[in-house]
Structure 1
Amino acid sequence: MDFKLFFKEKVITILLLLFGIITIEIFLMAYNVGMFIKIYIPLIIMGLYMISIIIEYFKRKKFYDNLLKILEELDEKYLITEIIKTPNFLEGQILKNSLEQIDKSMLENVNKYKYMTEDYKEYIELWIHEIKIPIATSKMVIENNKNAITKSIDEELDKVENYIEQALFYARSNTVEKDYYIRKVVLKEIVNESIKKNKSSLIQEKISIDIHDLEIEVNTDNKWIVFILNQIIQNSIKYRKKENSVMEIYANQGKENVILYIKDNGIGIKQGEIIRVFEKGFTGTNGRLSNKKSTGIGLYLCKKLCNKLGIGIELNSVQNEGTEVKLVFPKDSYIELK
């Protein structure tokens, strides 16, 4: 708290005090009061007032300096009212009371929107589970009536299922900690599960798969990591080369982490666009191609979920040569649930 600013606030009061002292001096002179009294009284009045100003300044300075210091160090700044003590001067008390009222109002609004968001999330999850029933029924009908038309319909249903899965994981992405179970899983198992989910597309597009060095355990959630792998594999399928498409998946174990590599020899990504591939809604040049129809959500979700699970994700690509995605699983024991 700056003393000059504080003193400026007191200028009018000081001027009024000086005016009062001058008035008293004129009154004392009119009654022929002695020189000692005429000097002593103004000095006492002015001295006592200046002492009161100094005391008031240091009282306020202590409170406001402490307030600003705590505010600067506090990450969750809305908790400031829970930490600062109630000051013993009126302005500070009014300020603290006002902050408490603001906090209360803010928390009420946050809780209201939190409830609305949670309610909407529950509805989305319910809708997703319900929509899976007619899709499963449709697939059963297709299975019993195989022909060129039903095959095409089945492919479109696979796309619908993927979008539904994206919607479900997107709805849950902000509360991953409530829905995951960290345990030891073998990379080969989760990779095989992801490939199985994309088996039809891989066969149809004649993509060769090279899987090796996956007999390694990592600490992660099986369901969430399969979803992440599924999005990466689907991107490789979507942006494949027309001929001789190859996908390679393998792992490398280091001292501090395990790195899972997903590589392809697809059309690749422009160098200037690589930095933006994890942005929400970013489709890039490839995604804007008429036959690709990218939503820009898949990799965004991968990044978000990896952050929640404590997994690193990196992407490197060379246009017309291919793309490499790395998932980095730390070996830190703190992420393993006992």
Structure 2
Amino acid sequence: MKFFDYFKERAIFILINIAILVASSGLLRVLRVDTYAIFFIFILNLIGSLIFHVYDYFNKNVYYKNILEDLQLLDKKYLISEVINKPTFVDGKILYEIIKHTNKSMKDEISKVKRDTVEYREYIELWVHEIKTPIASCKLLLENNESEVTRSINEEVEKVEGYIEQALFYARSNNLEKDYIIRELNLRKCINSTIKRNANTLIKKKIKIELSNVDKIVYSDSKWIEFILHQIISNSIKYMDKKESIIRLYCEEKKENVVLYICDNGIGMSEKCIRKAFEKGYTGENGRLYSKSTGIGLYLCKKLCKKLGLWINLLSKEGEGTTVSIMFPINKMMKI
């Protein structure tokens, strides 16, 4: 609160007060009161009024300044009503009550949204669980009646299964802390599991897999890591255009980190697409030209890596390929 602004707001009151003092002085003059007495009364009233306004300014300024300082320190700004003190002046008390009531209303609304979100997530998880049964039955029927047509149908069913899994992981991504266990795991096992899952597509498209130095021990949740690797490898498969298509996975140790690189020699990406690759719903030029894309895969990878305490980056060059790197921090505490 600025001193000038405070007095500017009270300019009318101050002018009225001065006018009353002048009128009172004139009346006292008509009543033949001594001029010195009139001057003394005028100055005394003026000083009294000024002292009141100065005190009122500093009282309110300290209060509002403390509120602003507390607000800056809070991560969740809406909790300001929990830390502010009740003021001693009337307009501050009114503001205090307004903040308290609006905060309560907001908390009630947040609780409702949270309940709705939990119910929606539980429904998605239940739906995914239930849909797995007919999908498994379809795959079994297709395997028992193998032909060129059923093989094509099976590929599409596997795509549907992948999208369903993506929906499940997306629904769980906001509450990841309740659904993961950090433990020691071998990256090779996660990579092999992901390659096996994509084996049919890799064989059909004649994509070669090269593994180098991937027997590294890291600390994370294998289920979520396999999902992340699946999203990245699926993207690599999707945007292959070379006669000799290769996906290369290798690890490097950098200080107290293990970095996993997933490299392909696909169509690559422009600089503009690289900057937006991890944005939600961004499909880019490749997503529109080469394959139907949801723009959710890499967004989920980024979000899940952040939740797991990992670091993910993407480098690419048009016509040459793309490299995605995932950094796993390894510190002494984890090794104990």
Distance in 1, matches of 2:233 and 2:239, equals: 10
**Which SS does the other structure have where 1:177 is aligned?**
helix
Alignment of 1:1-338 (within 5 A): 1-289=1-289, 292-332=291-331, 336=334
**Which SS does the other structure have where 1:288 is aligned?**
helix
Structure 1 residue 333, shift from structure 2 partner: 5.4
Contact 2:269 2:316 in 1 (8 A): yes
Q: 1:88 to 1:138 in 2, by over 3 A?
A: same
Distance in 2, matches of 1:318 and 1:23, equals: 84
- Post-superposition CA distance 1:289-312 (Å, at most 9, x none): 2x5211111111111111111111
Give the counterpart letter for 2:219 in structure 1.
N
**Which SS does the other structure have where 1:281 is aligned?**
coil
Distance in 2, matches of 1:197 and 1:176, equals: 23
Distance in 2, matches of 1:46 and 1:319, equals: 78
- Post-superposition CA distance 1:227-258 (Å, at most 9, x none): 00001111111111342111111111222210
Distance in 2, matches of 1:337 and 1:181, equals: 16
* CA RMSD, Structure 1 to Structure 2 (Å): 1.7
Q: 1:285 to 1:34 in 2, by over 3 A?
A: closer
Q: 1:267 to 1:28 in 2, by over 3 A?
A: closer
Give the counterpart letter for 1:51 in structure 2.
I
What are structure 2's unaligned runs of at least 5 residues? none
Identity of matched residues, %: 47
Give the counterpart letter for 1:331 in structure 2.
I
Q: How many aligned positions are there?
A: 336
Contact 2:313 2:325 in 1 (8 A): yes
Q: 1:27 to 1:118 in 2, by over 3 A?
A: same
Distance in 2, matches of 1:176 and 1:272, equals: 30
Contact 1:183 1:337 in 2 (8 A): no
- Post-superposition CA distance 1:5-25 (Å, at most 9, x none): 111222222222222222322
Contact 2:242 2:265 in 1 (8 A): no
Distance in 1, matches of 2:254 and 2:296, equals: 31
Distance in 1, matches of 2:58 and 2:321, equals: 67
- Post-superposition CA distance 1:123-146 (Å, at most 9, x none): 111111111110001111112111
Give the counterpart letter for 1:19 in structure 2.
A
Structure 1 residue 39, shift from structure 2 partner: 2.0
Distance in 2, matches of 1:54 and 1:47, equals: 10
Distance in 2, matches of 1:278 and 1:18, equals: 65
Structure 1 residue 184, shift from structure 2 partner: 0.8
Distance in 2, matches of 1:214 and 1:279, equals: 29
**Which SS does the other structure have where 2:260 is aligned?**
strand
Q: 1:67 to 1:337 in 2, by over 3 A?
A: farther
Q: 1:65 to 1:301 in 2, by over 3 A?
A: same
Q: 1:31 to 1:242 in 2, by over 3 A?
A: closer
**Which SS does the other structure have where 1:219 is aligned?**
strand
Q: 1:28 to 1:169 in 2, by over 3 A?
A: same
**Which SS does the other structure have where 2:261 is aligned?**
strand
Distance in 2, matches of 1:318 and 1:109, equals: 47
What are structure 1's unaligned runs of at least 5 residues? none
Contact 2:212 2:251 in 1 (8 A): yes
